[in-house]
Structure 1
Amino acid sequence: MNGGSLGLRTGSYGLLQNINRAIAGGEISKSLSNVRKSSTKMLSGIREKERPLPNAWYRYIGCRKFSMLLLIAFALLVFALGSFVVNKACPVCYLPVDQAIASMPSSSSASPVLHNLTYVLNENPIKSEPHGGSDFGGYPSLKQRNDSFDIKESMAVHCGFVKGSKPGHGTGFDFDESDLAELQQFHDIIVASAIFGNYDIIQHPQNISEEAKKNIPFYMFVDEETEAFMKNRSILSSSKRVGLWRIVVIHNVPYSDARRNGKVPKLLLHRIFPNVRYSIWIDGKLQLVVDPYQVLERFLWRQNANFAISRHYRRFDVFVEAEANKAAGKYDNSSIDEQVDFYKKEGLTPYSEAKLPITSDVPEGCVLIKEHIPITNLFTCLWFNEVDRFTSRDQLSFAIVRDKIMTKVDWSINMFLDCERRNFVIQRDSIGFCWILPTFFPCICLDCGIYWFDG
């Protein structure tokens, strides 16, 4: 979103600069005219110069200030309207909840080539090469990294939680014992989110069916800082529930950067929930406003997909995304350059039509819709490893991981329009206004011959 905003600002400021130059030009002409007129009155004496400025001059200054205020207000209006258009949701046709539930596959999708995926454990990870890694994710060598993209029937890869007997128990990113037991339970579907560093306010899901409330657990991961804030505000009680959300407190967070801590549940849900079939991840700043069954049916089951993510609303090239991140101060510029240069040497090229049917190299990664099967689990493991090795900007590492896997196996990702994502999750700004609202419209499902009213 920042890239779009910057573009709008540039255009608005450019308009103001042109108008300012025009005004300045008018002032110069008037000044020259005044000089010529005043030169004919030089003989009227020095006292003429001491007369107060005429009221007309004050009126001119007042009008000028008023005009500038109007121009600034106009520029702000253009910027706000432009942002609204960019952020607008587009229509999405969902099946009614009961039919969406009936559409859920009875068995897991086939995982191409890879059937057995296990994970590297190392009680004492040691950094042996200069490129990134961590005690939590381990320090895979470049050879190990390259081998992890050589898809085989059975594989063992780094995937976080390298220390300890099982994820969340002495590994860093640790859970309470009571939570560990619950996270091991079987569920067809879960919804998950996280807030670290007390950065966001919990958003309560809306329009959730009774079937989903009964059968789909909603998990919110928080660190101890966020937990303390919630308790002080009486938001969190001993029940560990806030609305639909079941709060899971994380101890011994592995990173000092809250952004990196947030990548653990986002990309490694299959490690935290080993017995789950489907998951929907939404960033903590977002509010889910469509039933999870309907979201899964629309973006996974109807598409015969096992991983879905929206493409970036404006940018589709990694190199352009990197420059936008640098311009917006998202990360240290030298670290971004190092990462992109590394990918360039590996063969990453700017996006072009030659990549079709792939429509974008840059995701809007705040929502992940996933079936937990070996190939998708491998994808998010390797994506996490790139985030752990380089910057935490996962938009920069998405394409290289996807493309390397796709060259080895017949597998793809459903990258849907970002305006469709905005239909089922909304973001509220810091003062509580909702900029993006779901649209209500009649739906026609061409695949199933059904007509209904939905939103």
Structure 2
Amino acid sequence: MPKVPSFSPVLKNLTYIYEENLNKETEFGGSNFGGYPTLKQRDDSYDIRESMSVHCGFVKGTKPDHETGFDIDNSDLLQMEQCHGVVVASAIFGAFDNMLQPKNISKYSEQTVCLYMFVDEETKSDLETEHGLSDGKKIGLWRIVVAHNLPYANGRRNGKIPKFLLHRLFPNARFSLWIDGKLQLLVDPYQILERLLWRKNATFAISRHYIRFDVFEEAEANKAARKYDNASIDFQVDFYKKEGLTPYSEAKLPITSDAPEVCAIIREHVPISNLFTCLWFKEIDRFTSRDQLSFSTVRDRVAAKTNWR
């Protein structure tokens, strides 16, 4: 593991907006969990400066805590704050997926990597019936954390919270690996970090889609599969198109895709990557929860100000 954090271009200090009394006067989108930033505030958050304060979930508290939505027990929060190195995280809500244990994990990783599975009450009940839950709240290598007072009615949308906001849930962690609940970790986390980040002096890596690379094609595939209502998908893509989104082509090289799979995210928690996932989460909160549709818009607007890729 590198001894010092990687360079964060332009942005050096990132804080998060807290609103005791939510201002809901926005043009469209938003939530009680993520806030209701206006389109002007949205544009301002892409004007990247040395110090910034942005909406990034948990707006009703100064940190993830009770009454913010996605509430976590104090005992779990204290343990999460003790994670100072690498965290591997996943989530299952609505008992939608089967929990899969990591394999090929070294003893060193078992002792030093934080492995957390976020669940809701329904999933916890199923896990207790199927596996039993130890006094240490562990099943196999996973420490199970139950999120209460979930802010969204849809389980997949709730899953976006740990997926994109791990730097808020684990404020002292340096690196994170997110894997969707349907996946199984089969390679030691340190090997993944070495190959995808450290060897390349990178701070962010994401899984590519195995077929599609274009937002417009991804949108049509989502509509055909009824992943979300068609009108909302069309509204989001049309909005991005007016902002300058174009179909993917080789002219965008060395960028190889505008629509990643997003089932795995590997990153270093430095200010610029934390901002990136905050902004991405805000797009998901404002528009549809189909994270593939908003990725390239956030990527391109951040890169335009920082040359961070």
TM-score, normalised to structure 1, is 0.67
> What does residue 100 of structure 2 align with?
203
In structure 2, the partner of 1:277 is: 174
Distance 1:137 1:327 in 2: 29
Deviations 1:227-250 (A, max 9, x none): 122223353233210000000110
Q: Which runs of 5 or more residues in structure 1 are unaligned?
A: 1-103, 413-455
Residue-pair matches, total: 309
Output the CA distance in 2 between the equivalents of 1:234 and 1:318: 40
Contact 1:253/1:261, CA 8 A, preserved across alignment:
yes
Q: Indicate if the aligned counterparts of 2:117 and 2:144 stay in contact, CA closer than 8 A.
A: yes
Asked whether 1:190 is paired with 2:87, we answer yes
The match for 1:330 is 227
Q: Secondary structure at the match of 2:128?
A: helix
Is residue 363 of structure 1 aligned with residue 260 of structure 2?
yes
Deviations along 1:22-55, one digit per CA (max 9) or x if unpaired, are xxxxxxxxxxxxxxxxxxxxxxxxxxxxxxxxxx
1: CA distance, partners of 2:192 / 2:79? 24
Q: Is the 8 A contact 1:187 1:216 kept in 2?
A: no
Aligned counterparts of 2:126 and 2:23: Cα–Cα separation in 1: 36
Aligned-partner Cα distance in 2 for 1:232–1:287: 21
SS in 1 for 2:276: helix
Q: Is the 8 A contact 1:231 1:237 kept in 2?
A: no
| 1:131, distance to aligned residue in structure 2 (A) | 1.6
Give the equivalent residue in structure 2 for 1:123: 20
Deviation of 1:154 (Å): 0.1
Q: CA deviation at 1:130?
A: 3.6
Q: Distance in 2 between matches of 1:396 and 1:315?
A: 12
Q: Deviations over 1:287-341 (max 9, x none)?
A: 1111001000001111111000022111111001000100111100000000000
Match for residue 300 of structure 2 among 383, 403, 422: 403
CA shift, 1:166, in A, is 1.7
Task: Give yes or no for the alignment of 1:318 onto 2:215.
Answer: yes
Residue 132 of structure 1 pairs with residue 56 of structure 2: no
Write the deviation string for residues 74-99 of structure 1: whole angstroms up to 9, x where unpaired: xxxxxxxxxxxxxxxxxxxxxxxxxx
Partner of 2:147: 250
Equivalent position to 2:49, from 152, 157, 174: 152
The 8 Å contact of residues 241 and 247 in structure 1, kept in 2 or not, is answered as yes
Return the alpha-carbon distance in structure 1 between the equivalents of residues 239 and 62 of structure 2: 34
Unaligned runs of 5+ residues in structure 2 are none
- Name the SS of the counterpart of 1:260 in structure 2: helix
What is the percent sequence identity of the aligned residues?
67
Residues 123-148 of structure 1: per-residue CA shift (max 9 Å, x gap) = 22232134210000000000000000
Letter aligned with residue 378 of structure 1: L
More helix by share: 1
Taking the aligned partners of 1:165 and 1:394, their CA distance within structure 2 comes to 26
- List structure 1 runs of 4+ shifted beyond 4 angstroms: none
Q: CA RMSD in A?
A: 1.0
For the residue of structure 2 that corresponds to 1:302, the secondary structure is helix
Secondary structure at the residue paired with 2:305?
A: coil
- Could you tell me which amino acid in structure 2 is paired with residue 390 of structure 1? F
Cα deviations by residue, 1:193-226 (Å, 9 ceiling, x for unpaired): 0000111111000010111011111000001111
Q: Give matches, 1:405-420, under 5 Å.
A: 405-412=302-309
Q: Give the secondary structure class of the aligned counterpart of 2:30.
A: coil
Structure-to-structure mapping, 1:38-437, within 5 angstroms:
104-412=1-309
Q: In structure 2, how many angstroms separate the alpha carbons of the residues matched to 1:195 and 1:124?
A: 31
Between 306-315 and 265-274, the greater mean CA deviation after superposition:
306-315
**What code does the residue aligned with 1:125 have?**
L
Deviations 1:258-300 (A, max 9, x none): 0110000000000000000000000111111110010000011
Q: Secondary structure at the match of 1:271?
A: helix
Q: Deviations over 1:337-377 (max 9, x none)?
A: 00000000111111112211111101110000000000000
Distance 2:170 2:47 in 1: 26
Separation in 2 of the partners of 1:123 and 1:397? Answer: 28
Look up the equivalent residue of 1:292 and give its one-letter code.
P
CA distance in 2, matches of 1:217, 1:374: 21
- What is the rounded CA distance, in whole Å, between the counterparts of 1:257 and 1:237 in structure 2? 29
Closer, same or farther in 2 for the Cα pair 1:234/1:296, shift >3 Å?
closer
Amino acid at match of 2:108: E
Q: Is the 8 A contact 1:190 1:276 kept in 2?
A: yes
State the alpha-carbon separation in 2 of the partners of residues 168 and 363 from structure 1.
Answer: 31
Secondary structure of 2:71's aligned partner:
coil
Residue type of the partner of 1:260? R
Counterpart residue type for residue 269 of structure 1: L
